[in-house]
């Protein structure tokens, strides 16, 4: 018996993608959304395979992600938000809730729910992750979604 090795592929578009975008810090989340869409299109997804749902803040992302994931209409959900610490302790609650909420949906819904929420100390760090010095985290999240869809489909057909 030979060892089976499997890995998600990035070279073909499979299924439908839901994207949840938080409107808080929208000057950053818009860029992350554009990065995700750009990446999906580069890999062959057409407009009608992509649905974008906007929610108020990152705290609301887990519920919207769960609704999308459990609808049976998507093969992956990409959660996009930006939480900036600034001077508020609210940050810890919002960032922690988004993280643990998305993790929970990722574990329970049966489809990949990708964490494209950036959490930074300040606006400069957020800008760096939204298409400047540190790349675009939305693009990376989309690539992760594509790879995970492919990997899960391969596991299902073992």
Q: Do 29 and 81 contact (CB within 8 A), yes or no?
A: yes
Provide the minimum distance between the beta carbon of 112 and ligand INI in the complex, in angstroms, as a whole number: 21
- For ligand INI, what does the binding mask look like between residues 14 and 53, x meaning CB under 6 A? --------x-xx----------------------------
Cα gap 127→63, rounded to integer Å: 26
H and E: helices and strands count for the chain: 5, 6
Which residues 49-68 are close enough to bind ligand INI by CB under 6 A? 56-60
Q: Is 90 a catalytic residue?
A: yes
Cα gap 155→102, rounded to integer Å: 22
Provide the minimum distance between the beta carbon of 57 and ligand INI in the complex, in angstroms, as a whole number: 2
- Establish if 126 lies at the interface with ligand INI (CB under 6 A): no
Q: Do 144 and 76 contact (CB within 8 A), yes or no?
A: no
Which of 12, 43, 90, 107 is flagged as catalytic?
90
Burial-class residue 155 by CB neighbours within 10 Å (0-12, 13-18, 19+): exposed
The helix/strand/coil state of 76 is strand
Provide the minimum distance between the beta carbon of 81 and ligand INI in the complex, in angstroms, as a whole number: 5
Provide the minimum distance between the beta carbon of 133 and ligand INI in the complex, in angstroms, as a whole number: 20
Which residues 67-106 are close enough to bind ligand INI by CB under 6 A? 81-84, 88, 90-91, 94
In the numeric block, which tokens belong to residue 116?
């494209």
Q: Catalytic residues, which ones?
A: 90
Residues within the interface to ligand INI (CB under 6 A): 22, 24-25, 56-60, 81-84, 88, 90-91, 94
């Amino acid at each position: 018996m030979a060892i089976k090795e499997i890995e998600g592929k990035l070279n073909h578009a499979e299924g439908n993608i839901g994207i949840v975008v938080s409107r808080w810090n929208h000057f950053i989340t818009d860029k992350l959304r554009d990065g995700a869409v750009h990446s999906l299109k580069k890999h062959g997804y057409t407009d009608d395979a992509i649905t974008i749902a906007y929610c108020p803040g990152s705290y609301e992302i887990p519920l919207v992600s769960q609704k999308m994931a459990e609808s049976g209409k998507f093969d992956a959900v990409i959660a996009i938000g930006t939480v900036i610490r600034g001077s508020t302790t609210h940050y810890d609650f919002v960032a922690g809730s988004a993280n643990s909420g998305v993790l929970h949906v990722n574990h329970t819904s049966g489809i990949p729910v990708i964490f494209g929420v950036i959490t930074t100390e300040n606006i400069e760090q957020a800008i760096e992750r939204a298409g400047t010095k540190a790349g675009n985290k939305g693009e990376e999240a989309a690539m992760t979604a594509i790879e995970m869809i492919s990997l899960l489909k391969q596991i299902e057909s073992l």
